[in-house]
């Protein structure tokens, strides 16, 4: 049986008013799928991407609200306080599980 790889993406630009927008985007690649299973796997991946797109839209919308409430300079000052070493350790742990 032949094996195939496929990639599906979801992208949107959402106007949030006052000349602002968010651009959620998610992509997933699936590899080594039996060609007879592509249709079913496509449906499963498509559903997963729809959920991820909702999550990304919520995350970006929340960040946009925070930026607008604080003002960009104050928002930037706040996020610059984040410990980069801690972020790197967390990301490394997450990536090991993927």
49 burial level (CB within 10 Å; 0-12, 13-18, 19+): middle
How is residue 98 annotated by DSSP?
Answer: -
Let me know if residue 35 belongs to a domain: yes
Domain count, the chain: 1
Range of the domain at 35: 3-70
Let me know if residue 90 belongs to a domain: no
pLDDT tens, 12-69?
A: 999 988 888 999 999 999 999 999 999 999 999 999 999 999 999 999 999 999 999 9
Let me know if residue 80 belongs to a domain: no
3-state secondary structure of 26: strand
- Say what the pLDDT of residue 91 is: 93
Given a contact cutoff of 8 angstroms between Cβ atoms, the answer to whether 27 and 9 are in contact is: yes
Let me know if residue 63 belongs to a domain: yes
**Does the structure show a pLDDT above 90 at 97?**
no
Given a contact cutoff of 8 angstroms between Cβ atoms, the answer to whether 60 and 48 are in contact is: no
Question: Which of 29, 27, 25, 87 minimizes the C-alpha distance to 56?
Answer: 25
pLDDT tens, 74-86?
A: 999 999 998 889 9
Its pTM surpasses 0.85: no
């Amino acid at each position: 049986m032949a094996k195939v790889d496929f990639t599906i993406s979801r992208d949107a630009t959402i106007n949030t008013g006052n000349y602002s927008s968010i651009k959620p985007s998610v992509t997933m690649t699936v590899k080594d799928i039996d060609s007879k299973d592509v249709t079913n796997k496509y449906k499963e991946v498509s559903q997963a991407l729809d959920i991820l797109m909702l999550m990304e839209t919520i995350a970006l919308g929340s960040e946009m609200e925070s930026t607008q409430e604080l003002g960009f300079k104050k928002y930037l000052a706040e996020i610059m306080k984040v410990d980069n070493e801690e972020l790197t350790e967390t990301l490394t742990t997450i990536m090991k599980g993927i």
